[in-house]
Amino acid sequence: MKNKLRIKSAWWGMSLLSVWLLSSCNKQTDLVTPTTTSNTTSDNQTVDNWILENMREYYYWNDKIPASPDLTLAPSDFFDSLLYSFDATQRPDGDRFSWIEENADELSASLSGESTTTGMEFTLYLRSQGSTNVIAQVLYVLPNSPAAAAGFKRGDIISKVNGQTITTSNYNSLLYSGGTSYSFGLAEVQNSALVDTDKSISVTATTFQANPVFMDSVYSVSGKTVGYLVYNQFVPAPNNSNGSEYDDQIDAIFSNFKAKGVNELVLDLRYNPGGYTSSSANLASLIGKNVDQTKVYFREEWNSSLTPYLKQEYGDEFFLQRFVNKSQNIGGNLQRVFVLTTEGTASASELIINGLRPYMTVTTIGTTTYGKNVGSITIVDDSGKIKWGMQPIVFKSFNSLGQSDYSTGFTPNVEVQEPINLLPLGDVNEALLNEALFQITGSRTARRAAVENHLTSLGSSFQRKAGGGRMIKSMSNFKTFKL
């Protein structure tokens, strides 16, 4: 192979590896404007051959790809046919995370936090045990978004969409079909029961750039100065920016933490599905105790056929993400860090937990994380012939102690479920933050779990971001090379 490879880099389940692989023999790849894909066998074969060539080269499980796959399949089906797919019994080490999209531009935008959205994220629950009715509870609303302008707030409960009751059979079509105009019918908790109301809120989704730096605060409690950060995606900058605007905001927050003498830290990653490994390393470098550019944050393991070339071309440093020197680092004042988690805490978020544990005590509070210890890259074709973009898993991550044992997620040190009655993020009485403050001070500002949540979760909207979160590794320090 003599493919030119330009990697932006991406991670599956840790940080987003923004990798733009230039593939097709002797062809550079880049983003192209998608058009309607032909369904002819010849067109399928052109795309499928491109998919197969790249998967055989870069896929982490490339030794498991079928020897003679069916090149007449539609590209999405063909891609799926190549995967070493997860099976709890037969392939417990299998792939849960690789995916492909017909529109490469939309794939790129989504990895940077830009999408067509109302601007609110929610969790879906069965309305009651044995019921097929579903509710959507708003977890947070992005400032200046259409949902914020319409008056939505954290804790609102949606039971109807465009006049239809949400059920297990229609919630995908009602909420995820790509529509833009919504009328949401609301319910509320009355005497411990969910009751539909007459209130509805109309919202029109629009193309919106989400700022992942949601909020920060400093609390003085029982002689402790506690820094609190809600961070919802590891993204260095807005879509179409080559800068570091969001990373710079994180740096400024930690500069303030340092100036105020923060000596305890609560990192709220409960709704963070992952992102760029570079942003994950930036955050970890602001937190870690006695870390600097000589210390390893995490190590990557690529497939056995590609590894020798990468090692020869770049040396062992290719596989290492080290911490970076940060003047805003507060690790000198910390003995530990508390991380708030849910099943939506994935990828680059889990990388923070795993990568910091060799250097300091990391206490997790909430529910079990998702379990993504592998990373992906974005592969696109700039010849104009291939309109697709794919995000295959290409490596597995290990911390500096060689640990990567969280494919089923991190079980919390202290289990706390979010109640059905949600308080605002940052409120010291909010369930997860309140527990963190109790662990820090030994005293509570409110009774723990005053309202339990026994509803069955069907997943969350933020888990669907950019395919559900990933680790994306920036390759800006490596020159373009040929394979």
Strand-strand pairing, 4-5 and 481-482: antiparallel
3-class DSSP assignment, residue 329? coil
Looking at residue 453, what is its pLDDT? 72
pLDDT, averaged across the chain: 87
d(CA 276, CA 235): 6
CA distances from 465 to 106, 275, 445, 469 (A): 12, 10, 34, 6
Is the pLDDT confidence value at 481 over 50?
no
Looking at residue 68, what is its pLDDT? 96
Determine how many CB atoms are found less than 10 A away from the CB of residue 477. Answer: 9
Is residue 332 exposed (0-12), middle (13-18) or buried (19+ Cβ within 10 Å)?
exposed
Looking at residue 219, what is its pLDDT? 98
Q: Estimate the crossing angle of helix 41-58 against helix 75-82, to 10 degrees.
A: 30
Cα 251 off chain centre by: 20
Q: Which of 2, 1, 6 is nearest to 381 (CA)?
A: 6
What token pair was written down for 29?
């790849």
Is the pLDDT confidence value at 138 over 60?
yes
Percent of the chain with pLDDT over 90: 72
Q: What is the pTM of this model?
A: 0.88
Looking at residue 448, what is its pLDDT? 57
d(CA 128, CA 120): 23
Is the pLDDT confidence value at 83 over 50?
yes
Comparing 446 with 57, which gets the higher pLDDT?
A: 57
Looking at residue 282, what is its pLDDT? 97
d(CA 201, CA 401): 51
d(CA 143, CA 217): 17
Helices and strands in the chain: count of H runs, count of E runs: 10, 27
CA distances from 380 to 28, 79, 279, 386 (A): 9, 14, 23, 8
Which amino acid, one-letter code, is at 309? Answer: Y
Phi-psi region of 275 (alpha: psi -120 to 50; beta: other; left: phi over 0): left
Q: Which of 101-105, 235-239, 379-383 has the highest average model confidence (pLDDT)?
A: 235-239
Render pLDDT for 355-396 as a digit per residue (tens, 0 to 9): 999 999 999 999 999 999 999 888 888 777 888 999 899 999
d(CA 24, CA 384): 12
Using the CB atoms, write b or e for 203-223: b if 16+ within 10 Å: bebeebbbbbbbbbbebeeee
Q: Name 436's Cβ contacts closer than 8 Å, sequence gap at least 6.
A: 266, 338, 340, 365
Q: What domains can you pick out in the chain, each with its CATH number?
A: 4-112 (no CATH), 115-208 (2.30.42.10)
R_g (Cα) of the chain, nearest Å: 22
CA distances from 13 to 17, 20, 250, 373, 430 (A): 10, 18, 20, 6, 27
d(CA 213, CA 262): 19
User: E strands of 351-392, at which residues?
Assistant: 361-366, 374-376, 378-380, 389-391
